[in-house]
């Protein structure tokens, strides 16, 4: 999981150097340089040392961390009510196939009772079922076929071209 950086320390109206950011956030200078070179952190590189505006840094770190927040434990869902990851109430959840390779896990938040949804990979289902009780729900067939990415289909039968099978 990505390291959590203290964005609260970043002052929007300040201008920072790479060195200052590495001290402020407790990360390596090289990490900051990588953000600028490869990950889209806006910096003024026409001067030395490079200068980064506080509000740009804040936005960059914020976006990074909202991405990291999605990396939950396999059997945890993110509750939008509590704004934090939760294990489904009673350790039970429903799983509905959506494509041949993924589906939706649905559980209730143990704290606020909100319905929590999460897209999970079918191959992860066994690991999830080792932690919580998952009930498989029948998906509507139309939904299953609609999103099937043909290149990802691994089952011989389903790799047949669209339309009626000709082998009978
Ligand atoms: Zn909740």
pLDDT digits (tens, 9 = 90+) for 55-68: 999 999 988 877 66
Beta strands (DSSP E) in the chain are 15-17, 51-53, 77-79, 84-86, 92-97, 102-108, 115-121, 133-137
Distance from Cα 73 to the centre of ligand 1, integer Å: 16
In this prediction, residue 111 carries a pLDDT of 95
In this prediction, residue 156 carries a pLDDT of 44
Q: Supply the pTM of this predicted model.
A: 0.45
Separation of alpha carbons 119 and 103, rounded Å:
6
Distance from Cα 91 to the centre of ligand 1, integer Å: 14
- Count other C-beta atoms under 10 Å from residue 156's C-beta: 7
Q: What domains are defined for the chain? A: 7-68 (no CATH), 77-137 (3.30.420)
Cβ < 5 A residues, ion ligand 1: 79, 81-82, 109, 111-112, 114
Distance from Cα 144 to the centre of ligand 1, integer Å: 29
Distance from Cα 118 to the centre of ligand 1, integer Å: 14
Separation of alpha carbons 129 and 75, rounded Å:
8
In this prediction, residue 71 carries a pLDDT of 66
Nearest to 135 by CA among 166, 103, 163, 160: 103
Distance from Cα 92 to the centre of ligand 1, integer Å: 15
Distance from Cα 117 to the centre of ligand 1, integer Å: 12
Residue 154 has pLDDT above 60, yes or no: no
């Amino acid at each position: 999981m990505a390291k959590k950086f203290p964005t609260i320390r970043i002052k929007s109206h300040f201008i920072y150097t790479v060195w200052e950011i590495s001290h402020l956030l407790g990360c390596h200078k090289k990490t900051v340089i990588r953000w600028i070179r490869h990950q889209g952190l806006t910096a003024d590189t026409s001067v030395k040392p490079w200068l980064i505006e506080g509000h740009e840094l804040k936005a960059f770190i914020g976006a990074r961390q909202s991405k990291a927040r999605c990396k939950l434990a396999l059997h945890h869902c993110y509750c939008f009510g509590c704004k934090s990851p939760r294990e489904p109430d009673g350790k039970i959840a429903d799983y509905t196939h959506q494509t041949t390779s993924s589906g939706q896990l649905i559980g209730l938040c143990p704290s606020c009772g909100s319905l929590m949804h999460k897209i999970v990979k079918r191959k992860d289902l066994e690991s999830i079922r080792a932690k919580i009780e998952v009930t498989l729900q029948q998906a509507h067939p139309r939904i299953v076929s609609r999103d099937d990415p043909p290149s990802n289909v691994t089952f011989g039968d389903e790799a047949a071209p669209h339309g009626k099978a000709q082998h009978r």
